[in-house]
Amino acid sequence: MTSDDHPPSNRRKTVLVTGATGYVGSRLIPRILPHYNIRCLVRDPSRLDETLCNQVEVSQGDVMHSPSLQNCLQGVDVAFYLIHGLGYGADFQKKDRIAAENFAAAAKEAGVSRIVYLGGLGDDADSKLSPHLRSRHEVGQIFQASGVPTIELRASVVLGPGSLSYELIRSLTQRLPMMICPKWLSTPTQPIATEDVLAYLHESIELPTEKSEVFEIGSQDVVTYGGLIQMYAKERNLTRILVRVPLLTPYLSSLWLGLVTPTSAEVGRHLIEGLRNPTVVRDDRARTIFSHQPMTTQEAIRQAVQQEA
């Protein structure tokens, strides 16, 4: 079965989407809406796209408040967990953990048949794994141990207009003809196009497995963050000079990003801490188990630039 097929049962499955107003969730809903009954878990219903309000069931709740989750998850077949706590402040790891535990317990009690979670790449054995990536992995471990079969998709930089990581790359490249760059621009990464992420998420609803699985997803090639900047510059017909120096610490880098991008220095700091860690696909089982095949990094950036236009 491909992600574009209808479910095999005559009964349309009910799919819950958390993070429905976020970058991935707001794009996933229109894609799966023709095939499933969609319920959106939102803290503030007024933030949901008005064009979707009459086509989906809106359930107000908060993953930090477990009683509000019980009604939201009743009757749900598959639940997407598309939430991360970068905006929670300094104690985001603790809040990420509490939110995941609340959601896992409520999903188990409601009899949800599958959780689909979008996490992050990175080597669990890396003692220097950033707090952001470590928290992403911990959330996945909570779901894997919950008793609810979970498909965890681990991805690196998501390339598409509106994605926080992509907007950092776009802003830096457009604003700075010459960049004094920290060492992390040489870190290898395996980005993925937004469209590819959505395809993997869609296919995960009907993926024929009864157990919990972790799949690493990425584009067809490995690049560096400096390479991403140069690829974006090429698509925009810009000339950019990168001068690499080992002087900028992750903290100073985040302050630098706060000056030249729309991203706050606090969120930027957590992102930059993650950029020091290689985020590449080490287990490529997704290539054989999913029918979808991702595009190259250059193709992903070209598509993103076209979507900007």
**Would you say residue 268 lies in a domain?**
no
The domain total for the chain is 1
Distance between CA 165 and CA 168 in Å, rounded? 5
Beta carbons of 230 and 240 less than 8 angstroms apart: yes
pTM assigned to the model: 0.90
Which residue, among 183, 199, 193, has the nearest Cα to 278 in the 3D structure?
Answer: 183
Percentage of residues of the chain with pLDDT beyond 70: 86
Distance between CA 187 and CA 10 in Å, rounded? 48
Q: Give me the CATH number covering residue 140.
A: 3.40.50.720
Beta carbons of 78 and 15 less than 8 angstroms apart: yes
**Would you say residue 230 lies in a domain?**
no
**Would you say residue 39 lies in a domain?**
yes
C-alpha of 163 from chain center: 9
| Greater pLDDT, 129 or 40 | 40
pLDDT value at position 109? 97
Distance between CA 78 and CA 63 in Å, rounded? 16
**Would you say residue 163 lies in a domain?**
no
Which of 48-57, 102-111, 117-126, 130-139 tops mean pLDDT? 102-111
**Would you say residue 51 lies in a domain?**
yes
Residue range 265-287: mean pLDDT, rounded: 81
Does residue 134 register a pLDDT over 70? yes
Which of 85-89, 116-120, 162-166 tops mean pLDDT? 116-120
**Would you say residue 183 lies in a domain?**
no
Low-confidence winner among 3-7, 131-135, 213-217, 278-282 (lowest mean pLDDT): 3-7
Kindly report, residue by residue over 173-205, the tens digit of the pLDDT.
887 777 777 777 788 999 999 999 999 999 999
**Would you say residue 21 lies in a domain?**
yes
Which residue, among 146, 152, 148, has the nearest Cα to 81 in the 3D structure?
Answer: 152
Residue range 93-113: mean pLDDT, rounded: 95
Beta carbons of 115 and 146 less than 8 angstroms apart: yes
Residue range 15-42: mean pLDDT, rounded: 95
pLDDT value at position 221? 94
Beta carbons of 178 and 158 less than 8 angstroms apart: no
Residue range 20-36: mean pLDDT, rounded: 95
Distance between CA 28 and CA 20 in Å, rounded? 8
**Would you say residue 199 lies in a domain?**
yes
| Domain limits for position 135 | 14-156+194-217+280-292
Beta carbons of 305 and 237 less than 8 angstroms apart: no
| Greater pLDDT, 54 or 143 | 143
pLDDT value at position 251? 64
Does residue 270 register a pLDDT over 70? no
Beta carbons of 123 and 90 less than 8 angstroms apart: no
Kindly report, residue by residue over 212-256, the tens digit of the pLDDT.
999 999 999 999 988 998 999 999 998 877 777 766 566 666 666
pLDDT value at position 268? 63
